[in-house]
Structure 1
Amino acid sequence: MTGAQLPVAELRSATKRYPGVIALDEVDFSVMPGEVRAVLGKNGAGKSTLIRLLTGAESADSGEVLLSGKPFVEFGQRRTREAAERGLRAVYQELSLVPSMTIAENMFLGNWPRRRRVLDHRAMAEQAREALRRLGLSLDPRLLTGTLAPAARQMVEIARAFLGVPRLVILDEPTSSLAAAEVDQVCNAVREAAAAGAAVLYVSHRMSEIRRLADTATVMRDGRVASTLSVAGARTLADTATVMRDGRVASTLSVAGARTEDIIQMMLGRVEQARPAHTSAIGKTTLSVEGIAMPPKLRNITFDLHAGEVLGIAGLLGSGRTELLEIVMGLRLPSAGSVRVRDEKIAKPSYKGMMQRGFGYTPESRKEDGIVPLLGVDENIVLTDFSRVTRGGVLSSAAVESAARTVVERLHVKTARLETPIVTLSGGNQQKVVIGRWIHAGSRILLLDEPTRGVDIEAKAQIYDIIRALAAEGRAVLFVSSEIEELDQVCDRVLVLRDGVMAEEHIAPSIDAERLLAACIG
């Protein structure tokens, strides 16, 4: 790189605010042609906001966003098209492929090549095949994406980013659902793109990949750049890596010489270690998971859950935490293993059967899977068990009101009326209702997947209290969270899910956020 070269992308004192949150706080950031920059940071550090500013999906409230030294010209939704036309490609955690379209059609979605005003399917297939080749894929571009396995769909999404001659490729947790061989293919494609002069932003929590790929790293924390780690002379994939913390870039040190513990401390900052007193008595084993496997995510998962216990499951994105809960709840079938509820061995759990055995489940995505938006708070509460609110086979409005009011008052749900549509409530109050419906159903074993995601600090504390109160009543709780810092606030034990197995066990009061994150990263 020469001094005359301009950064491919640059933020100058960029600030972005959302209601009640400063997502980015005067961030300075730049990436050069041919550079692979790793970006590190825990959830909420500002990584996603940084990406949205670069892709044009969001505008900075103050400061500048430049692509190849020039600011955006367009506004609103047209900014994303402008960014794409200027050579920016992005792969997000959530896939955006259309299942009913072919691989080639998806790869050119919205920008299909034409010949004499007619779609040029031959050119589309040839260019798609070349992009797939860069990832070592021999897929037929004419295949419908809906017929592909999840990992193959992820690879197609990544291949789309390498179409043509990109100037900047942003990969957000690109390997979270991929096996080792596929990770190698992604790394090879990144090397090829960087060698051709493209800049690559590589967002990941996987330290093994970061050490393999990055010369330097930028750590972000709480919307600021906390640190930039540098590896002088290292012959690796990435040139730099950025660690974000509290919305800013935090600091600079050597990736090769930095201990994982030091990097984790930069990501987390100062973690308060005050823990609540866990007073509930641990009782008999109510759930035993025995040898559960679902390749490539899970293999030989075995653990016990006891009455009165809150058992946390920690792991990185894509580690298989959600899949494990879905298997236990009967929403997925494992390739091996079984579930034992008290003295009953269940080889093939079903959702209905597990509900009848006293299980309750709150899904990871409250908005999509947890609530019925236009139904009232009362209806959302009682839908897990209508038998408790029917009289003579007919729903009783008085019984529905009584049952819903009991839950609302117990969990301190803030709602003007019981019949208020749940979609109008805050995220924290929606989540209380989602948990409360299983209290209404009398569930004794609760599987909670990210129960505090998208709620404010006050609501989080209230949900912690609810969970501890449920455990004190003798209920068993399986608690999955990507917020490492909250696990010691609510859990009696934490199991670390890494590389498909339960790698470590941490027991209160010796549950420490830094050690947990280090265990997850490996």
Structure 2
Amino acid sequence: MSSDETSNRGRQETGGVFSSVDNVMTQISRSVEAARHSIASIKGCTRQYPGVLALDNATFEVAAGEVRALLGKNGAGKSTLIRLLTGAEVPDTGSVTVDGEELRYSGSNRAQDAFDKGVRVVYQELSLVPGMSLAENLFLGRWPRKGGVIQYANMEAEASEAMGRLGLDRPPNSLVASLSPAERQLLEIARVLLGKPKLVILDEPTSSLAAAEAEKVMAAVKRIASDGIAVIYVSHRMNEIRQIAHSATIMRDGRIIETVDVKGADTREIVRLMLGSEASQTAALENRSQGQTVLEVKDLALSPKLASISFSLKAGEVLGIAGLLGSGRTELLQAIMGVQMQDHGNVLVDGVSVAPGHYKKMISRGFGYTPESRKEEGIVPLLGVDENTLSTDFSGVSRNGILSSRLIAEATRKVIERLHIKTARTDTPIGTLSGGNQQKVVIGRWVYANSRVLLLDEPTRGVDVEAKAQIYTIIRQLAAEGRSIIFVSSEIEELPLVCDRVLVLRDGTLQEEFKSPNIDQDALMAACIAGH
């Protein structure tokens, strides 16, 4: 071979190598560029409601194929940010852009504009119809028709494809009622994947799931992101976030505080960013409960949330139960009260074991229970304050089996005055009262019944700051009278303000205990999300 041929061959080979390298670099460059392509953003957005600055000059951006965790305590502004992205709300100032185009219009037209641009959301409360098939639920409200006839074959074929993308291997004609909780969540996600979305927002998608079921949902999220779809993932479960999120945006008081790399971020630092300066505050509450033990819970289990729960409650004590949404707090109260039947374990009242599943017997032993969902389970909106207050026992306001309007009004007025309930009349429909006053009536129901042990599930949810402070005072006054209270709350910062002790419920068991007056919010929050 001549020197020229050798030289030419060398140039060809070298050129081939360089060409291959160039191709690889080009592909990498394109991948990086794709990863940086902004799918949705809000810039300088402010949203104010009467008396509340929900979002304060917020700027946020998420890219194609990115999983962005959104963190913040209740009231931080997460829901408002989501509503801006979905077009459900219009910012007072600033702009919202999806795939390079600013959202226009207002009202339902704005939401439709966001939908048309590829924004989808799966809320915490699922919207499935149990009596319909999987395919019918996927296409709910937009079933494919031809000549007025639903095309079931086409619908079920598309449904199978959509579910297959998420690993949901179920016949499309089977009923939703037959699905497990994780499968129902996957079906909700599969529904929003129809129509090639660009941004999928998941609001606490695993809050009601056990760990094994949550894995299925996380695997689905990874598949979605690998298809180039941007994902906003709202959750407090740090183990999930570290597994699937590229970064986390932390919100506090309506502001975007910081966006961090979750893999390198310290949990305590994330908690500090979520709570701010309040994190260093501790309660000045003195634990004065020195009474006898009124309630003992021993090795209580309720699948799939509770594995083995044991604790005791003294007379005059306010015991807080802290834990993430879906940790089993509500199930614990319901099992104690007899609303749900536990798998095994014992509940002892004054040292005597109580048969499980007997709600009326627990009431007769002096127990009262306020449910988490006040509007759906705690009140009858069209009935008056009087009937809602006295519904636990009408015997004291009747004579010879006949209700007395005078006695009803007198008994109700005493509760109204004691709990500072704002209402024009004793028979005012409770549905017309503010959330805080409704909640006082729900608590007042058991005060009227002279219950000595109160199980309060999220007693300050959906009430204003003033009403919260009043409810805290009411609880402490009841404890001072010798009543015992279990206080469940997802607002970690309020537990040290009202509780003598706080137990942390995590992974189906009670993991840590904090005692007043040295309950630190930072440590309490970290204990709730540790291992999560």
User: With structure 1 as the length reference, what TM-score do the two structures score?
Assistant: 0.92
The question of whether the paired residues in 1 share the 8 Å contact of 2:504 and 2:513 is answered with yes
Residue 397 of structure 2 is aligned to residue 389 of structure 1: yes
- Matched position secondary structure for 2:163: helix
Structure 1 CA distance for aligned equivalents of residues 355 and 307 of structure 2: 16
Per-residue CA deviations over 1:62-86 (Å, capped at 9, x if unaligned) read: 2111111212344322333332332
For structure 2, which runs of at least 5 residues remain unmatched after alignment? Answer: 1-31
Structure 1 CA distance for aligned equivalents of residues 188 and 315 of structure 2: 43
The question of whether the paired residues in 2 share the 8 Å contact of 1:337 and 1:347 is answered with no
Tell me the equivalent position of 1:370.
378
Structure 2 CA distance for aligned equivalents of residues 274 and 521 of structure 1: 19
Query: What letter is aligned with 1:182?
Result: E
Tell me the equivalent position of 2:150.
119
Residue 287 of structure 2 is aligned to residue 256 of structure 1: no
Per-residue CA deviations over 1:458-491 (Å, capped at 9, x if unaligned) read: 1111111110111111111000000100100000
Tell me the equivalent position of 1:453.
461
The question of whether the paired residues in 2 share the 8 Å contact of 1:65 and 1:72 is answered with yes
246, 251, 254: which one pairs with 1:215? 246
Tell me the equivalent position of 1:474.
482
Structure 2 CA distance for aligned equivalents of residues 430 and 179 of structure 1: 33
Structure 1 CA distance for aligned equivalents of residues 314 and 60 of structure 2: 48
The question of whether the paired residues in 2 share the 8 Å contact of 1:428 and 1:454 is answered with yes
Residue 496 of structure 2 is aligned to residue 505 of structure 1: no
The question of whether the paired residues in 1 share the 8 Å contact of 2:282 and 2:517 is answered with no
Query: What letter is aligned with 2:490?
Result: S
416, 438, 442: which one pairs with 1:434? 442
The question of whether the paired residues in 2 share the 8 Å contact of 1:6 and 1:69 is answered with no
Tell me the equivalent position of 2:131.
100
Distance 1:276 1:389, change over 3 A: farther
Query: Which shifted more, 357-366 or 57-66?
Result: 57-66
Residue 179 of structure 2 is aligned to residue 172 of structure 1: no
Structure 1 CA distance for aligned equivalents of residues 210 and 489 of structure 2: 23
395, 406, 409: which one pairs with 2:417? 409
Residue 350 of structure 2 is aligned to residue 325 of structure 1: no
Query: Which shifted more, 74-83 or 400-409?
Result: 74-83
Residue 17 of structure 2 is aligned to residue 9 of structure 1: no
Tell me the equivalent position of 1:275.
283
Query: What letter is aligned with 1:139?
Result: R
Tell me the equivalent position of 2:23.
none
Query: Which shifted more, 432-441 or 421-430?
Result: 421-430
Deviation at 1:116, TM superposition (A): 4.5
66, 78, 90: which one pairs with 2:97? 66
The question of whether the paired residues in 2 share the 8 Å contact of 1:125 and 1:141 is answered with yes
Equivalenced residue count is 498
- Matched position secondary structure for 2:38: coil
The question of whether the paired residues in 2 share the 8 Å contact of 1:310 and 1:491 is answered with yes
Structure 2 CA distance for aligned equivalents of residues 453 and 382 of structure 1: 23
Deviation at 1:164, TM superposition (A): 4.7
- Matched position secondary structure for 1:8: strand
Structure 1 CA distance for aligned equivalents of residues 475 and 209 of structure 2: 33
The question of whether the paired residues in 1 share the 8 Å contact of 2:84 and 2:96 is answered with yes
The question of whether the paired residues in 1 share the 8 Å contact of 2:284 and 2:516 is answered with no
Structure 2 CA distance for aligned equivalents of residues 502 and 438 of structure 1: 27
Structure 2 CA distance for aligned equivalents of residues 279 and 220 of structure 1: 33
Structure 2 CA distance for aligned equivalents of residues 301 and 274 of structure 1: 27
Residue 300 of structure 2 is aligned to residue 289 of structure 1: no
User: With structure 2 as the length reference, what TM-score do the two structures score?
Assistant: 0.90
The question of whether the paired residues in 1 share the 8 Å contact of 2:35 and 2:66 is answered with no
Query: What letter is aligned with 1:331?
Result: V
184, 198, 217: which one pairs with 1:186? 217
- Matched position secondary structure for 2:254: strand
Query: Which shifted more, 197-206 or 171-180?
Result: 171-180
Query: What letter is aligned with 1:172?
Result: D
Tell me the equivalent position of 1:134.
165
For structure 1, which runs of at least 5 residues remain unmatched after alignment? Answer: 231-254
Structure 2 CA distance for aligned equivalents of residues 196 and 149 of structure 1: 26
Query: What letter is aligned with 1:39?
Result: L
Tell me the equivalent position of 1:154.
185
Query: What letter is aligned with 2:79?
Result: S
Q: Provide the alpha-carbon RMSD of the alignment.
A: 1.8
Deviation at 1:433, TM superposition (A): 0.9
Per-residue CA deviations over 1:161-206 (Å, capped at 9, x if unaligned) read: 3335221111111111223333222222222222211111111101
The question of whether the paired residues in 2 share the 8 Å contact of 1:280 and 1:471 is answered with no
Tell me the equivalent position of 2:28.
none
Query: Which shifted more, 81-90 or 477-486?
Result: 81-90
7, 11, 25: which one pairs with 2:56? 25
Residue 62 of structure 2 is aligned to residue 54 of structure 1: no
Per-residue CA deviations over 1:351-386 (Å, capped at 9, x if unaligned) read: 222111111111111111111111111121111111
425, 440, 449: which one pairs with 2:433? 425
Structure 2 CA distance for aligned equivalents of residues 165 and 384 of structure 1: 52
- Matched position secondary structure for 1:420: coil
- Matched position secondary structure for 1:332: coil
Distance 1:357 1:109, change over 3 A: same
Deviation at 1:118, TM superposition (A): 2.7
Structure 1 CA distance for aligned equivalents of residues 481 and 441 of structure 2: 19
- Matched position secondary structure for 1:77: helix
Deviation at 1:274, TM superposition (A): 5.4
Distance 1:387 1:113, change over 3 A: same
Tell me the equivalent position of 1:443.
451
Structure 2 CA distance for aligned equivalents of residues 34 and 161 of structure 1: 16
Higher radius of gyration, 1 or 2: 2
Per-residue CA deviations over 1:261-314 (Å, capped at 9, x if unaligned) read: 111010011116253443643311111112211222111111111111000000
Distance 1:276 1:399, change over 3 A: farther
